[in-house]
Amino acid sequence: MLERLGPYRILRQIGRGGMGTVYEGVDLASGQPAAVKLLSAELARHAGFRDRFEAEIEALRKLHHPNIVQLIGFGQQEDQWFYAMELVSGSSLEELLGRGRTFEWHEVAEIGIETCRGLRHAHDRGIIHRDIKPGNLLVELDGHVKLSDFGIARLFGSLRAVGPGGVVGTAEYMAPEQAANPAGVDQRADIYALGCTLYFLLTGGPVYPGRSAMEKLLAHRKQPVPSLKVRFPDAPDWLDLAFQKMIAKNPAERYASMEEVCRALQPVRKPSPWSSLLDLVSRVKMTLFRRNRVP
């Protein structure tokens, strides 16, 4: 059992994935709790790893936002590299789904708004997440959402250390252009992934199911964008329109920024007397959007 990493005493393992293991730890000097991620030894063998790791983590420490898990520090112990994050009391959306939790459309829209705010803060500082998915969205005990794993996603983007075909991200949520050119994505790739995430929360399944990662990636490129209402008939028209625009195949057809996505999801907070009018406006917009889409 690992007992210590740098200044952190390790209490227990709380997660594990292909890129590393996460532990609950406590800073021996300050007593501050932390989630300490020990990166896999394979990553450290990449040429120039140390310089890129330190540069990326230092940049990410500048992210200070209530909807982003704060990076605290990083270090090396022998040949093991780790970084420490704010310890969030709560569960990931993936964990909640695994326990059978279901989400109503208004909850999904609220999750989208909070995630947008965190991503807007990062995008304004030139940082693209690249791996938005339910497992990287943590829900605190008070219900607020925090984005995690910016460090891992950013680092993989520079190392090109990845999955099928050299791709950075997760196939169920990945924008078509990200699969084709991982290093060349902008904020619209995160918008796409957020749209796919909201769809999963609402319907309980991916936008494009597939038997393999490559089959899913191909579906993101080729299959038509579905309507939320096929799987979730109670979704309001304005939410269906927002979703379809978020996951348009062509990045130019998506929202241009997280600010625009936030505005598109704001009707969830409007007084109920306006709901019928908002749905009427959304239906008109959806009709125009579909007519003007580039084949």
Cα separation, 167 vs 156, in Å, equals: 9
Cα separation, 228 vs 232, in Å, equals: 6
Per-residue b/e over 110-123, b at no fewer than 16 CB within 10 Å?
bbbbbbbbbbbbbb
Cα separation, 276 vs 69, in Å, equals: 37
CB atoms under 10 Å from CB of 252, counted, come to: 9
- The DSSP string of 118-182 is HHHHHHTTT---S--SGGGEEEETTS-EEE--HHHHHHHHHHT--SGGG--S-GGG--HHHHH-G
Instruction: Name the residues annotated as catalytic.
Output: 131
- Tell me how many helices (H) and strands (E) the chain has: 12, 9
